[in-house]
Structure 1
Amino acid sequence: MAKGAKAPKGKKITLNVAKNCIKITFDGRKRLDLSKMGITTFPKCILRLNDVDELDLSRNMIRKIPDSISKFQNLRWLDLHSNYIDKLPESIGQMTSLLFLNVSNNKLTTNGLPVELNQLKNIRTMNLGLNHLDSVPTTLGALKDLHEVGLNDNLLNSIPVSISKLPKLKKLNIKRNPFPKPEESDTFIDSIKRLENLYLVEEKDLCPACLRKCQHTRDKLNKIKSTALTTAPRKAIFSNLVSPNSMAKESQEDWR
């Protein structure tokens, strides 16, 4: 936006409009869906609906999230992706029920990530991709229940060791960051790149039927692999030929 230009006037969200945007999810939770509404400022009226379980404000033009968002104490799912947010409020650390936080595709810098994020002890998925982060707070390593972390499309040249040691980490997306070239990087960066987009499944996460299927497939692959290693390659046999073209040579005159 050009300097001095007025910010676009967004759609005004009233309490009645917000109430009509509450949906019930397939598992019976209440989701307030205000995505793609052309909102430019956080609608304060929705604070009166703070008993919802999920809040979707994605794909709008919101620039600032107020401290009052912490009033959503029951919130488990918060989606703010694709806005113009450059800073998260410190009060977000008080939303300890959060399991999912998506703030990708915004204007966040490292300074815009409050230390209080480390208070989200129950968080399982955090997407910080498509921002302007040049480093990752080591305090994120305190979030022991994190399963998925999105850090793609930022300005990162390293990843804290504390992130790689998260005990429940299953997916780490660090694509399209200016990491050092392989010959310049240490073994940690090399190993962390191998983790990129890696899904790890533990036996306890699978139902009995799926576990049996995975074990059967694994045994089948191991059998094929062992067979390939022990079986000598077969050679082609030309019992009647001195060389592949010997008969052709002998019959050249006949063909002519």
Structure 2
Amino acid sequence: MAKGNKQSKEPKGRKITLKMAKLALKLTVDGKRRLDLSNMEIASFPKCILKLCDVDELDLSRNMLKKIPDSIDKFVNLRWLDLHSNQLDHIPEAIGHLQNLYSLNLCNNLLSSIGLPNEIGLLQKLRSLNLGMNLLESIPSSIAALKELRHLGLFNNHLTRVPECLRNLPHLESINLKCNPIPSGDDKGIDPIQRVECLYLVRESCLCASCLKKVKDARQRLDSRLSRAPAHGRSIFAGLITPNSVAQEDQATWR
């Protein structure tokens, strides 16, 4: 029998060396250190990056990762973790040790309900959690402990009801539940939140000067139209700028 016939035909992915990882280090606009290894055809978690575990942000999105090791808890300073568009079906319990994390993106993976650990509820500083485009039929009830959570993505999953734990999140500003098989009428008590899936309330401090000018110009045009409309047809949103998700996405802080 010729040698090599038993070799695996599965792609091994690109091997990342410590030198490559160091070259991928970047400085964000707010002076944080980000390790950007996105879209590099990585199939297994590069062990060498554990030597760079003091970074503030880690981007491993758009790769072929199937597993995140327990050693992810070495990144104790991590505030931003992006794992979207991989092949993950499980997140380790060690994720709960990342106590400084404020943004976690797990969108577009293969996560089912058993793939999300209860320890995700230990991320007390978490403000943004994206679980969209997965296989979730439910989410851990421990998410109710994320009292600082502002933005939650649950779109394109298999949810058949609005999770009860969402009703206990005091600072939740936006939630996206689009493209789930949730029966109409099952959203009682969560209406004010669910409407925000297409409406983002943007603070002036979040916008650059250019975007802020565009928003104010749009608001002036809206006010002008409203001033000419019949009084009974007007809607007043006191204290708001213009609901605009595009402007928010243009900012360096909304990645």
Q: Would you call these one fold, judging by a TM-score over 0.5?
A: yes
Which aligned pairs between 1:60-99 and structure 2 lie closer than 5 A? 60-99=63-102
Q: Find the structure with the greater CA-based Rg.
A: 1
Shift of 1:136: 1.7
- Asked if the contact 1:164–1:192 (Cα under 8 Å) also holds between the matched residues in 2, the reply is no
| TM-score normalised by structure 1 residue count | 0.76
Which residue of 155, 160, 175 maps to 1:157? 160
Q: Name the stretch that deviates more: 49-58 or 186-195.
A: 186-195
1:139 is paired with a residue of what secondary structure?
Answer: helix
The 1:28/1:147 distance shift into structure 2, 3 A limit, reads: same
* Corresponding position: 1:133 with 2:133: no
Deviation at 1:204, TM superposition (A): 9.8
Moved more, 91-100 or 161-170: 161-170
Superposed CA offset, 1:190-236 (max 9, x none): 66543423324579989xxx8xx79x96xx589838x7248xxxxxx
Is the 1:42–1:66 contact (alpha carbons within 8 Å) kept by the matching residues of 2?
Answer: yes
1:40 aligns to 2:40 (yes or no): no
Q: 1:245 corresponds to which residue?
A: none
Match of 2:198 in 1: 197
Equivalent residue in structure 2 for 1:14, among 17, 22, 39 = 17
Quote the Cα distance in structure 1 between the aligned partners of 2:133 and 2:206: 30
Matched, 1:102 2:105: yes
More displaced 10-residue stretch of structure 1: 197-206 or 101-110: 197-206
Conservation of the 8 A alpha-carbon contact between 1:64 and 1:85:
yes
SS at structure 1 position matched to 2:91: coil
1:5–1:190 Cα change, 3 Å: farther
Contact kept in structure 2, 1:158 and 1:189, CA below 8 Å: no
Q: How does 1:169-208 map to 2 (within 5 A)?
A: 169-180=172-183, 182=184, 185=186, 187-188=188-189, 193-200=194-201
Q: Which residue of 2 aligns with 1:58?
A: 61
| Matched-pair contact (CA < 8 Å) for 2:90–2:111 | yes
Q: Residues 202 and 36 from structure 1, CA distance in 2 versus in 1: closer, same or farther, beyond 3 angstroms?
A: closer
- Does structure 1 residue 121 correspond to structure 2 residue 124? yes
Contact 1:110 1:133 in 2 (8 A): yes
Asked if structure 2 preserves the Cα contact closer than 8 Å seen for 1:149 and 1:172, the reply is yes
What is aligned with 1:166?
169
Q: Report the number of matched residues.
A: 219
Amino acid at match of 2:126: I
Q: Give, in whole Å, the separation in 2 of the partners of 1:128 and 1:167.
A: 19
| Structure 2 CA distance for aligned equivalents of residues 32 and 186 of structure 1 | 40
* Aligned counterparts of 2:206 and 2:23: Cα–Cα separation in 1: 37
TM-superposition CA deviations, 1:89-114 (whole Å, max 9, x none): 00000001001100100000110000
AA in 1 matched with 2:148: D
CA contact (8 A) 1:172 1:198 kept: no
TM-superposed CA distance for 1:165, in Å, is 3.6
Give the Cα–Cα distance (whole angstroms) in 1 for the partners of residues 224 and 139 of structure 2.
39
The DSSP-based 3-state class of the residue aligned with 1:172 is strand
Q: Tell me if the contact between 1:170 and 1:201 (Cα under 8 Å) persists in the aligned partners.
A: no
Q: Cα–Cα, structure 1 residues 90 and 203, in superposed 2: closer, same or farther, change >3 Å?
A: same
Shift of the 138–222 alpha-carbon distance from structure 1 to 2, 3 Å rule, reads: farther
For the structure 1 residues 222 and 68, does the alpha-carbon distance in structure 2 shift closer, same or farther, using more than 3 Å as the test?
Answer: same
